Structure 1
Amino acid sequence: MQLPPPSGTAPVALSVLASGGTGVGTTATQGLASTVSLARAADVLGYHRFWMSEHHAMGATSVSSPPLMVARLIAETARIRLGAGGVMLPNHAPLLIAEQFGMLEALAPGRIDLGLGRAPGTDGATAAALRRGADANDGFPQQLLELLGFLGEAFPAGHRYRNVHAVPGPWQAAQNRVPSDSVGPDVWVLGSSPYSAQLAAQLGRPYAFALQFGDADVDTALRIYRETFRPSDVLDHPHALVSVPVAISDDPAEAQRQAATSAMAMLRMFKGQGYLLLPPEEVEAYSATSQERQILDAYTSRSFHGTPAAVADRLERLHERTGADELMLVVSGHSAALDEHGIELLADHYHLPRA
């Protein structure tokens, strides 16, 4: 695993997570173009990773296939690591994911990350349309082991997939009598629970904790991960990343307005109305019940929103509390322009090394 470089005066390396944000009034083409622009900016500004998450049938997101976007971004960036944060593995055959990320790694050796989760990335009906069974989550550990077997040619003698090979990959290099030009993508386990923490620890893999999801207990998860970690051939000590929602602006009120658009999208999802990023004016005009107001206020306050200095203060306190090795900024407001300007403001605050 390639560890992050020093990141200016930031407490740890900083990264960015996007989902192809497509707010109301924005086309998919515009949303994806904004994601490309955001990745270019993160690359130039000195961020360490740029990840995209897999979602389906959600109006506010346009990245249903992170590998497709990574392929595009390889040609649009020069030094930043690119990846999925993540691929929802029960939606896919492990061999297919091994092949796709083997291709990506061959296109950009040493720059590809593969984050793996077990959630569907959507609602129940859409999960069924993806041919995902009700017991899909139960098979996640086995699927993950199969994927690692394909990526590393690591199936034992007698395994039914011993003679099945992911191409491109190490088997192809051996067949063609050439040295492998990479060690494959960095594989991460993603989650927001003790279950995922324990799985990452058992496999000796880096762990990414999604703090943007509700009241997830990051302290317990990271403690379990560190206490039960087993060194592997790719990682000899625990390495944890924590992702948090952010909205950054020179104007604190505008940052709060953008954070509220994401909070409203969460409320709509809870009510079965679909995850949409409404314009701030519509969010402000919404007549919420007392219970809805509690949800909106809770999700808005969970977002690290405000001026660069205010957001940096919360990031530093989070780092002191969790000891995370990396922090990832989840940008998901209605305004793609504000998202991009926000990561620039924070990069300038921390004096990240620009390209």
Structure 2
Amino acid sequence: MPEQPTSGTAPFALSVLAAGGTGVGTTAEQGLANTVSLARVADARGYRRFWMSEHHAMAATSVSSPPLMIARLIAETARIRLGAGGVMLPNHAPLLIAEQFGMLEALAPNRIDLGLGRAPGTDPATAAALRRGADANDGFPQQLLDLLGFLGDEFPPGHPYRDVHAVPGPWQAEQNRVHHGSTGPEAWILGSSLYSARLAAQLGCPYAFALQFGDADVDSALQTYRQSFQPSAALAEPRTLVSVPVAVSDDHRAAERQAATSAMAMLRMFKREGYLLLPPEEVEAYQATAQERQILDAYTARTFHGAPATVAARLEALQARTGADELMLVVGGHSAALDERGIGLIADHYGLPRD
């Protein structure tokens, strides 16, 4: 008999990250439509943010350009904050990202988030096709400083970009003698290591820790971030978010099968076979080696899966342990319908509003 949820009040903010959308048997058009539908539900059910990751050359994902998708979702949603979780900055020129997100902020003031990471978001060969050099990651701290400089139009005298201005932005408003009411998109540093924690603290930015990628030490990273945090013009005190994979259903077996499809996609990625969301039947029929079975079982267990009360209990335990201000539900198994229904079930469990 399925476990019955009990309503309550979440002791933390809840958000959603769309990590898939295009399983085997799904067209690209339907995958994008699935992402739009998921964002609508998240908006209607009172989630704080809806983010999308930048991925390239991956059959299972629907979003290769978060800014393009955010532009569409502005017209599809009313209140929820929309963002990239994130833009892989070494793939792009900082000025270009500043202008794109400045435009999005102008279209939806105070609703745009800009999560920034340094991973390529793809395999090594595709990364080589995207990036301007093999050492692109080495310049990430400077790229961040340049991007923040463009967003705020704040470069020191003598800086080579002192007279280069991102439009829209503060400089354009000044030139046109109008008030620049926006504070710009909210910039977050993404990561799953002490490196990213220290960088976010040094820059005085909010920090989002990605727990979906493995056995990363979230406790040490958040502790390091809080202890090293330096207040900035954008943020006076540390602010943290932890993203975690979930698969929620009234039917525990359905949730477990959904989690297993994501686990198989991770195994395929490790084997350089491509991140692909196979149907549950194919995942179950796969003849795994002992080592592969260990990986599949570990990633299935890592996903918070099961009935709403079961998943909520794990979320609450994670938040109590880490002190995260916000938890982000990462959804992206083979069934887009189950993902969409799942975030609704969690909203019901916590009594979130229904639009």
Q: TM-score, normalized by length of structure 2? A: 0.97
Structure 2 partner of 1:275: 275
Structure 2 partner of 1:167: 167
Q: Distance in 1 between matches of 2:20 and 2:299?
A: 20
The answer on 1:211 being equivalent to 2:235 is: no
Per the alignment, in what secondary structure is the counterpart of residue 59 of structure 1?
coil
The answer on 1:72 being equivalent to 2:76 is: no
Q: How far did residue 181 of structure 1 move? A: 2.8
The code of the aligned residue for 1:177 comes to R
The answer on 1:43 being equivalent to 2:43 is: yes
The code of the aligned residue for 1:205 comes to C
Per the alignment, in what secondary structure is the counterpart of residue 224 of structure 2?
helix
The code of the aligned residue for 1:259 comes to A
User: Does the CA contact (< 8 Å) of 1:19 and 1:54 recur in 2?
Assistant: no
Per the alignment, in what secondary structure is the counterpart of residue 39 of structure 1?
helix
Structure 1 partner of 2:346: 346
User: Does the CA contact (< 8 Å) of 1:20 and 1:34 recur in 2?
Assistant: no
Structure 2 partner of 1:155: 155
Per the alignment, in what secondary structure is the counterpart of residue 212 of structure 1?
helix
Q: Distance in 1 between matches of 2:11 and 2:315?
A: 8
Q: Distance in 2 between matches of 1:48 and 1:353?
A: 12
User: Does the CA contact (< 8 Å) of 1:201 and 1:230 recur in 2?
Assistant: yes
What CA deviation, in whole Å up to 9, does each residue of 1:54-76 have, x standing for no partner? 00001101200000000000000
Per the alignment, in what secondary structure is the counterpart of residue 76 of structure 2?
coil
What CA deviation, in whole Å up to 9, does each residue of 1:102-144 have, x standing for no partner? 0000000000000000000001110111134221111000000
What CA deviation, in whole Å up to 9, does each residue of 1:199-250 have, x standing for no partner? 0000010000000011111011001000100011111111000000000000
The answer on 1:286 being equivalent to 2:273 is: no
Range with bigger deviation, 109-118 or 178-187: 178-187
User: Does the CA contact (< 8 Å) of 2:20 and 2:331 recur in 1?
Assistant: no
Q: Distance in 1 between matches of 2:271 and 2:159?
A: 46
Q: Distance in 2 between matches of 1:320 and 1:204?
A: 24
Structure 2 partner of 1:21: 21
The answer on 1:112 being equivalent to 2:103 is: no
Structure 2 partner of 1:4: none
User: Does the CA contact (< 8 Å) of 1:116 and 1:189 recur in 2?
Assistant: yes
What CA deviation, in whole Å up to 9, does each residue of 1:300-344 have, x standing for no partner? 000000000000000000001000000000001100000000000
Unaligned segments of structure 1, at least 5 residues: 1-7
Structure 2 partner of 1:336: 336
Q: How far did residue 20 of structure 1 move? A: 4.5
Q: Distance in 1 between matches of 2:295 and 2:156?
A: 50
Unaligned segments of structure 2, at least 5 residues: 1-7
Structure 1 partner of 2:33: 33
Per the alignment, in what secondary structure is the counterpart of residue 100 of structure 1?
helix
> What RMSD, in angstroms, separates the aligned Cα atoms of the two structures?
0.8
Q: Distance in 1 between matches of 2:312 and 2:128?
A: 41
Structure 1 partner of 2:308: 308
Q: What is the percentage of aligned positions where both structures have the same residue? A: 82
Structure 2 partner of 1:3: none
Q: Distance in 2 between matches of 1:28 and 1:257?
A: 23
The code of the aligned residue for 2:303 comes to S
User: Does the CA contact (< 8 Å) of 1:106 and 1:181 recur in 2?
Assistant: no
Matches within 5 A, 1:49-60: 49-60=49-60
Structure 1 partner of 2:249: 249
Structure 1 partner of 2:183: 183
Structure 1 partner of 2:261: 261
Q: Distance in 2 between matches of 1:333 and 1:122?
A: 18
Q: Distance in 2 between matches of 1:43 and 1:21?
A: 17
Q: Distance in 1 between matches of 2:327 and 2:132?
A: 31
Residues 209 and 74 of structure 1: CA distance in aligned 2, closer, same or farther (over 3 Å): same
